[in-house]
Amino acid sequence: MKKIALLLFSLIVTLSVFGQDTDTNLDEMKAELENQNDDTTNIKFKRKTVKIVEDDGETKIFVKKHHKNDWDWYWDDEDRFKGSWASFSMGLSNFVDKDFSLSRDASEQYMDLNTGRSWNMNLNFAQYSINLISDKFGLVTGLGLEWNYYRFDNDNSIQENVTTGIIEERILDSDWNVEKSKLSTTYATLPLLLEFHSSKYQHSGVIFSAGVIGGLKLGSNTKIVYKENGDKNKDKTKDDFNLAPFRYGVHARLGVGQWLVYGTYYFTPIFESDKGPELYPISVGIALSFE
């Protein structure tokens, strides 16, 4: 049984958004509502049509208004397909070799990372979603920023060899009591994802998303925090460090509602070809969707 009083109040509020003119009175609307017994009620006006739908215990009101010979649906977009890309996420990052191993050869041990202190952060601030099937399956793209803070496990850093131009280990001063040494990178990101929702309502149900992701390098630096003769010092160097200016990979996320876990693997090595160790960035973490 439809809750007539609540529907009438919602209907009046909805119509006021689209204009103050009314084409029928409350008695007529109430009579038409009472005469319809299914889960969908349609009320026709001179310049608009109102559809009231009861589904899964929730009541939705849709308004169709005439605009310059075109008709568009206006509704509370809670049940429209919206991707989960727009989000803030934080996790851990590391490198793997071509065999997906975290172990390093002796010549590349200076690239060993402290995974528990190597952070990956993402702010995905723009999103565009395209519904493909029943507001549950669609295509998602957008823009974001990705920061990685790679914490070296040993007391070393990296530098570009002035003769060969190849990235090599930077051996630090023996008098330095190193507290931390890291490589930081910033990339702009662009995804193209296929996303599935088990429910058409964004706040509930399982979400799975997967696809490709691209990146454009915006900046990079190394930072060393150390103590010398009791004084705390910082050594920060901004450089491109032969980092790949463009990169691409795969990205996936899985969760319920607004909370998801994510993972990213880049097919592009972190350094340009033949200008540093052949290592591939990976990251996993937790995301909070804005939708």
b/e for 103-116, b at 16 or more Cβ within 10 A? Answer: ebeeebebbbbeee
Q: Is the pLDDT of residue 9 over 70?
A: no
Residues 151 and 260 in one domain: yes
User: Could you report the per-residue pLDDT of 245-288, keeping only the tens digit for each?
Assistant: 999 999 999 999 899 999 999 999 999 999 999 999 999 999 99
Confidence label for 1 from pLDDT (cuts 50, 70 and 90): very low
What integer is the mean pLDDT of 198-211?
87
Q: 172 in a domain, yes or no?
A: yes
Residues 161 and 30 in one domain: no
Among 53, 75, 97, the domain boundary falls at 75
What integer is the mean pLDDT of 223-247?
95
Q: How many domains does the chain have?
A: 2
Residues 8 and 36 in one domain: yes
The Cβ of residue 47 has, within 10 Å, a number of other Cβ atoms equal to 12
Q: 80 in a domain, yes or no?
A: no
Q: Is the pLDDT of residue 44 over 70?
A: no
Residues 65 and 135 in one domain: no
Residues 160 and 273 in one domain: yes
| 257 or 215: which leads in pLDDT | 215
Residues 11 and 120 in one domain: no
Confidence label for 200 from pLDDT (cuts 50, 70 and 90): confident
Confidence label for 18 from pLDDT (cuts 50, 70 and 90): very low
Tell me the CA end-to-end span of the chain in Å, nearest whole number: 32
Q: Is the pLDDT of residue 37 over 90?
A: no
| 73 or 278: which leads in pLDDT | 278
φ, ψ of residue 156 to 5 degrees: the values are -150, 175
Count of alpha carbons within 13 angstroms of residue 225, beta-carbon side: 5
- The percent of residues above 90 in pLDDT, for the chain, comes to 66
Let me know: does 86 contact 202? Beta carbons within 8 Å. Answer: no
User: Could you report the per-residue pLDDT of 164-179, keeping only the tens digit for each?
Assistant: 999 999 999 999 999 9
Residues 215 and 116 in one domain: yes
Q: How far apart are CA 158 and CA 153, in angstroms?
A: 13
Residues 96 and 154 in one domain: yes
Q: Which of 118, 76, 72 is nearest to 95 (CA)?
A: 118
Q: Is the pLDDT of residue 84 over 60?
A: yes
Residues 161 and 23 in one domain: no
Q: Is the pLDDT of residue 79 over 90?
A: no
Q: 70 in a domain, yes or no?
A: yes
Q: Is the pLDDT of residue 17 over 50?
A: no
The pLDDT value given to residue 20: 46
Q: 82 in a domain, yes or no?
A: no
Among 75, 95, 129, the domain boundary falls at 75
Confidence label for 135 from pLDDT (cuts 50, 70 and 90): confident
Q: Is the pLDDT of residue 187 over 90?
A: yes
**What sign does the dihedral 18-19-23-26 (CA atoms) show?**
positive
26-30, 134-138, 161-165, 174-178: least confidently modelled range: 26-30
Residues 14 and 118 in one domain: no
Query: Average pLDDT, whole number, for the chain?
Result: 84
Q: 191 in a domain, yes or no?
A: yes
Q: How far apart are CA 198 and CA 196, in angstroms?
A: 7
The pLDDT value given to residue 51: 67
Q: Is the pLDDT of residue 3 over 50?
A: no
- The percent of residues above 70 in pLDDT, for the chain, comes to 73
Domain that holds residue 15: 4-75
Confidence label for 199 from pLDDT (cuts 50, 70 and 90): confident
Q: 257 in a domain, yes or no?
A: yes
Residues 50 and 145 in one domain: no
Q: Is the pLDDT of residue 201 over 90?
A: no
Q: 81 in a domain, yes or no?
A: no
Q: 64 in a domain, yes or no?
A: yes
What integer is the mean pLDDT of 52-74?
59
Among 50, 75, 100, the domain boundary falls at 75
